[in-house]
Structure 1
Amino acid sequence: MHVAIASPPANMLIVTLFYPGGREEAEVLFAPLLALEHVANTTKERPYPDANTILTPKVPWGIRRQYHGVAFATPLRVDFLKSLADSLAELRSQVSPDAAPSMIMLEMTEKENMGQLPVGSMAFAGRQLHHVCFVVARWSIPEHDLVARKWVNKTAAKFDAELERTKHKEGVDINLDAVRVYSNYDGLLLPPKQIIGTNLPRLTALKEKYDPKDVFRTSYALLPKKSTSL
């Protein structure tokens, strides 16, 4: 389930639901959400190719953007969520209407089963009990570059501080040394070590064995660049 703080034009919550089963079971599971007063409700049973395009309108081509993935833990404080909404409104007031597509999207994923396997057992580094948030600024005017990028970094820092507060003051079991970014959001911006963590040496060895020519290299680089000089 994704919960996004977004617009138009004022702040509102956009919830994207996914259930790998029948409609009746999904409606029972999500009944508390479906019962809330809403502006629009487009939930329905749909084929996966269609479901995979639900968020496409929020990610248009041809605009400037900066993404950042950050970690958070539940439960989230209401005051913290309000501060995020206020921060997003402030960005839009500074860059408005250019920054209207910007949003803060919280990924709510059940982590218990995923966390039963040790981090080193598979390549995926996100087998911890925290969740991931997608902070994204979108704008179209180069003059707004600095303001928008600063907002992304400032918002990410808020999440880092809140995660530490949740651990130390709320006593939530969080490993602050775990990988707290997500390759889908930061894969083109950060070095592989920061994304894959302790699994990098093993993953690099598998890459050298099964893809020595580095055919699959559209995201982060696992193999060192080879010199082409004679």
Structure 2
Amino acid sequence: MVDLQKLRDAIASGSVLVPGDEGYEDSLKRWSKTAEKRAKVVVKTSNASEVSTAIKFAVENGIPMTAAGGGHATSGTSSSEGMVIDLCKMRQANVDKVNHTITFGGGCLWKDLDDALDPLDLAIVGGTVNHTGVGGLILGGGHGYLSSKHGLTIDNLLSVEIVTADGTVQEASAEKNPDLFWAVRGAGAQFGVVTKFTSRVHPQGSVYSGALIFMADKLPQLVGAVNNFHEKDNREGHCIVLAIGYGPDGQSHMLIVSPLFHGSEQEGREFFKDLFDVGPIMDTTQVMRMRNVNELINPLAGHGIRRLMGSGNVAMPLKAEDVQKTADTFWSFCDATPGATPQSAIALEFFPMHKVREVGLEETAYTNRGDYYDVVTMFGWTDPAQDDAFREFNREIVKQIRETLGYQYDPDKDEKQDAPIGRYINMEADVLRPEDAYGSNLKRLREVKSKYDPSNVFHKWHGLDIKASGTGGL
């Protein structure tokens, strides 16, 4: 038997929860109900030292473990039947207004950073849903509305505080442990638990954004509009999200477009004139703050149901008939599947990639830097009996998107070994082959892994295929 009292005594500021303890059941809840597991022990840490204690205890006792921040991963990586190191108590955020940086805890949600930065007319490159945790998104690469202007989350990262497999609290930056800093930016979950981030932030005023809703039969015209948007080759950070989904009644097939323009409403409407010419049936666009932009998708991304996500990409120009095929396949499946909810969509994210591609594929572990746009699949349903059906359909629709719309690269066949992988691994619910997750950076990642985690303590999600550590039980 494992002596949990020893662990309780060592976690002075945080807490140790086991089944039956007050707060234990709530600690298991995740964004997707499919990702919930009954942990033997949940350690709510309040600082890096307690994270170190928890890691050492798990390793010494052969207990499988993982870390949880916002709990958004539909792959289940923030849950474990062994130990969960819960970072929810580590949500401090401190802004350096002079140097335009922010230092924040590994348990923060993006809303925490918006709340700290927006009153100062500053913003950080973050995700598109503000109740997502910062850690998972950043460590897998991380992009959002401001990536068109400032690059990826990891391109703005200055340093991290990370607890590695032996329990050592380390700093990783360009100056300290640069090999670890390189690896953390794109494959961070394989190297430890990040307890603190420091990132650049940027001056940011109000923007023109919101939602335009179109009838389903407008898809060909909208494809034409986004092709024209791509041809503009804008370098100012303007972007579009085109979602194939459902209308406010939860049943009607609809198309939802969220434009973003860095400027006034008049300028934005002129810039996106092609969209308005198509004829939206509803228009909520207006001048707003970036913190409000980061709330726009929240109604589609609520908690409390079963969830699954996946990633694809589209190469330009798009063919209307191919996009229509994807939309019809999606709607047909959702309409016919019991328990499917209107909180399902396929989102084509037209975030111009100029800033992202300024960083070379070898400069960070992240290799999804190509001349294409990412596509996100998001499914919501209520009937557990349909779990397998949604998982299988997600694989099918993502495969269809890649084959008919996207950039394609086969690492086993393509001679260009430094090609981008064409996958946004943060959204992948299924475990990928290391070659598919990390591409040409895999060899170097394995070398860094052998230095900082030779026993492969951190091996969940898209692992590196080195010998896994032993996993005992409580």
TM-score bracket relative to the smaller structure: 0.7 to 0.9
Deviation at 1:60, TM superposition (A): 1.3
Higher helix share: 1
Q: Does 1:26 align with 2:268?
A: yes
Structure 1 residue runs without a partner (length 5+): 168-174, 212-216
Please tell me whether the aligned partners of residues 11 and 85 of structure 1 are also in contact (alpha carbons under 8 angstroms): no
Q: d(CA) in 2 for partners of 1:195 and 1:65?
A: 21
Map 1:26-105 to 2 at 5 A.
26-96=268-338, 98-105=340-347
Identity %: 23
Pairwise CA RMSD: 3.6
Tell me how far 1:202 sits from its aligned partner. 5.1
Structure 1 residues 123 and 177, CA gap change in structure 2 (3 angstroms): closer
Residue equivalent to 2:389: 147
Which residue of 2 is the match for residue 182 of structure 1? 424
Q: Equivalents in 1 of 2:404, 2:382: separation in Å?
A: 30
1:128 aligned to 2:367? no
TM-score (norm 2): 0.40
Cα offsets for 1:24-66 (capped at 9, x unmatched): 3322211221333222211122112221111111111111121
Residue 138 of structure 1 and its aligned partner are, at CA, apart by 1.3
1:159-184 Cα offsets, whole Å, 9 max, x none, are 222147999xxxxxxx9953111133
Q: 1:80 to 1:57 in 2, by over 3 A?
A: same
Q: Give the direction of change, closer, same or farther, for the CA distance of 1:131–1:47 in structure 2 (3 Å limit).
A: same
C-alpha displacement of 1:220:
6.2
2:15 is matched with which residue?
Answer: none
1:205-226 CA-to-partner distances (Å, cap 9, x unmatched) read 7789999xxxxx998678x876
Deviations 1:1-28 (A, max 9, x none): 1101101322211111222333333222
- Distance change >3 Å, CA 28–CA 207, structure 1 → 2: farther
Structure 2 unaligned residues grouped into runs of 5+:
1-239, 410-416, 454-458
Sort the Cα spacing of 1:196 and 1:176 in 2 relative to 1 into closer, same or farther, 3 A: closer
Question: Structure 1 residues 122 and 218 mapped into 2: Cα distance closer, same or farther (>3 Å)?
Answer: same
Give the whole-Å Cα distance in 1 for the aligned partners of 2:347 and 2:425: 15
Q: How many angstroms does 1:145 deviate by?
A: 1.6
Shift of 1:79: 1.4
Q: Distance in 2 between matches of 1:202 and 1:165?
A: 24
Q: Is the 8 A contact 1:5 1:105 kept in 2?
A: yes
Matched, 1:137 2:379: yes
Shift of 1:141: 0.2
In the other structure, the counterpart of 1:6 is 245
Q: Distance in 1 between matches of 2:397 and 2:331?
A: 12
When normalised by structure 1's length, the TM-score is 0.76
Aligned partner letter, 1:31: K
- More deviation in 10-19 or 53-62? 10-19
1:85–1:60 Cα change, 3 Å:
same
Per-residue CA shift, 1:75-127, capped at 9, x if unaligned? 22111112112112211232256233221111112234533543113343222
Higher deviation after alignment, 140-149 or 185-194: 185-194
CA contact (8 A) 1:125 1:179 kept: yes
Residues 200-209 or 92-101, more deviating: 200-209
Cα gap change, 1:145 to 1:219, in 2 (>3 Å)? closer
SS in structure 2 at match of 1:45: strand
For structure 1, which segment, 127-136 or 16-25, has the greater mean C-alpha deviation from structure 2 after superposition? Answer: 16-25
Sort the Cα spacing of 1:107 and 1:176 in 2 relative to 1 into closer, same or farther, 3 A: farther
Contact 1:164 1:176 (8 Å CA) reproduced: no
Whichever residue aligns with residue 39 of structure 1, its letter is: I
Query: Counterparts of 2:318 and 2:407 in 1: how far apart (Å)?
Result: 11
Task: Answer yes or no: is the 8 Å Cα contact 2:339–2:382 preserved in 1.
Answer: no
Higher strand fraction: Structure 1 or Structure 2?
Answer: 2
Bigger Rg over Cα = 2
CA contact (8 A) 2:419 2:440 kept: no
TM-aligned CA distance change 1:165 to 1:21, over 3 Å: closer
Residue 160, structure 1, aligned to residue 402, structure 2: yes
